[in-house]
């Protein structure tokens, strides 16, 4: 870069003053030694500081200073003309963002009447529309059929489902509708038992139900913006989904089990399944006594804990467990009939193994592969593929 342009750039960035720039521009011609940063020059209105050996500037040097000021002034004028549209555009953009942010903040932080200026009358506001809250009791007989399905979905409320030894669905539905005649009910549609309503007509729907424990081939329970609690269910296919609330699932048996959660705590306990997928995002996950043959378990941005006291239902297990940005801890039982083959990796973290009676094939801080000493003779073989990132991985 041209040295004169570099000096102008330093002025633009605020690294030097205009007076210092003038001296530097002059020094490029070899006629003067630039003053040290912060030192006053002969044109300064303040009294200049000089070392004892320093002489006053000569008349020739003074004329050079004056010439430099004139050139610098011209360059500043050109720079100002070019920069003006950019500055105007930047200022307008910042102003728009400030206004937008202020509007959003005013929507959230609206002072109540007690915080307003007592000398100023409160501005009129439109009346708030009250929710039409209602409650409905439902009872419906479930016919014996191998193809039965149950489908229940909540909205901005809590959902609780309990299985029991009976043949009826008994439910209490609490809801707030946007219009008084909006229909909501549990209906039988062929072999499907569905909580039927149109979401656009409701503010929130909460459900508390008892359902026959083993009457359905498939069960699907969903919720949005509330807690989900389900227990004592058995079916071929079971699917749970919840967002923005805690999820508690217990005493559930399935051939295929699926549970997904986001922005809330997920707890699964006493789950048995041939095949299962469990996913959680932005919430802690606790898995206790999940006797699952093939498991895919993932959790991100929150801790994951697995506690097992025994593997008893199957002879072979394959678990794939993955976390990101949070600690992963697994507690496994030590039993004479159970053998482990463990592959564990911690990217940007550390693998720590406290399980006993292992022989290591690979043992590095971030990578471990190990087998139980009794793996060849164990009647139950558990294969674990475990991975985490940006956090430690603990196996005990």
Which DSSP string do the residues of 191-230 spell out, in sequence order? TEEEEE--GGGEEEEEEEEEEETTS-SEEEEEEESS-EEE
Beta-carbon contacts of residue 283 (< 8 Å; ≥ 6 apart) = 246, 261, 262, 263, 264, 265, 266, 302
Length of the chain: 396
What pLDDT score does 179 carry? 86
What pLDDT score does 132 carry? 76
What pLDDT score does 181 carry? 87
**Domain boundaries along the sequence of the chain:** 3-108, 246-395
Judged on CB neighbours under 10 Å (0-12, 13-18, 19+), 3 is exposed
CB 327 within 8 A of CB 391: yes
Threshold 0.75, pTM exceeds? no
What pLDDT score does 113 carry? 39
What pLDDT score does 103 carry? 45
Which parts of the chain have pLDDT scores under 50?
A: 31-127
pLDDT, one tens digit per residue, over 111-135 is 443 344 444 444 444 445 567 789 9
What pLDDT score does 161 carry? 98
Which DSSP string do the residues of 239-272 spell out, in sequence order? EEEEESS-EEEEEEEEEEEEEEEESS-EEEEEEE
* Residue 386: Cβ within 10 Å count: 22
């Amino acid at each position: 870069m041209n040295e004169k342009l570099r000096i102008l750039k330093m002025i633009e960035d605020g690294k030097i003053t205009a007076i210092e720039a003038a001296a530097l521009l002059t020094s490029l011609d070899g006629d003067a030694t630039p003053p040290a940063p912060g030192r006053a020059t002969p044109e300064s209105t303040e009294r200049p500081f000089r070392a004892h050996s320093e002489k006053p500037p000569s008349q020739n040097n003074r004329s050079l200073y004056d010439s430099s000021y004139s050139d610098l002034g011209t360059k500043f004028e050109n720079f100002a003309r070019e920069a003006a549209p950019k500055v105007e555009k930047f200022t307008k953009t910042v102003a728009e963002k400030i206004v937008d942010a202020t509007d959003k903040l005013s929507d959230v932080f609206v002072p109540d009447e007690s915080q307003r200026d007592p000398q100023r009358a409160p501005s009129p506001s439109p009346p708030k529309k009250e929710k039409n809250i209602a409650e409905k009791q439902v009872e419906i007989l479930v016919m014996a059929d191998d193809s039965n399905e149950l489908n229940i979905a909540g909205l901005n409320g809590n959902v609780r489902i309990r299985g029991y030894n009976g043949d009826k669905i008994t439910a209490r539905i609490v809801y707030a509708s946007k219009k008084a005649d909006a229909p909501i009910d549990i209906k039988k549609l062929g072999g499907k038992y569905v909580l039927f309503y149109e979401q656009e007509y409701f503010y929130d729907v909460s459900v508390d139900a008892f359902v026959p424990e083993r009457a359905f081939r498939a069960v699907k329970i969903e919720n949005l913006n509330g807690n989900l609690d389900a227990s004592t269910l058995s079916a071929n296919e079971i699917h749970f989904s919840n967002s923005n609330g805690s999820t508690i699932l217990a005493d559930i048996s399935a051939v295929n089990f699926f549970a997904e959660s986001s922005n809330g705590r997920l707890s699964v306990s006493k789950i048995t399944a041939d095949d299962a997928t469990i996913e959680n995002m932005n919430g802690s996950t606790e898995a206790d006594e999940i006797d699952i043959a093939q498991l895919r378990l993932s959790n991100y941005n929150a801790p994951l804990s697995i506690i097992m006291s025994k593997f008893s239902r199957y002879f072979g297990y394959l678990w794939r467990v993955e976390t990101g940005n949070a600690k992963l801890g697994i507690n496994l039982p030590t039993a004479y009939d159970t053998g482990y083959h463990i592959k564990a990796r911690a990217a940007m973290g550390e693998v720590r193994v406290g399980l006993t009676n292992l022989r290591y094939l690979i043992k590095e801080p971030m990578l471990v592969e190990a087998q139980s000493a009794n793996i060849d003779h164990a009647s139950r073989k558990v294969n674990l593929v475990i991975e985490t990132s940006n956090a430690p991985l603990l196996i005990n």
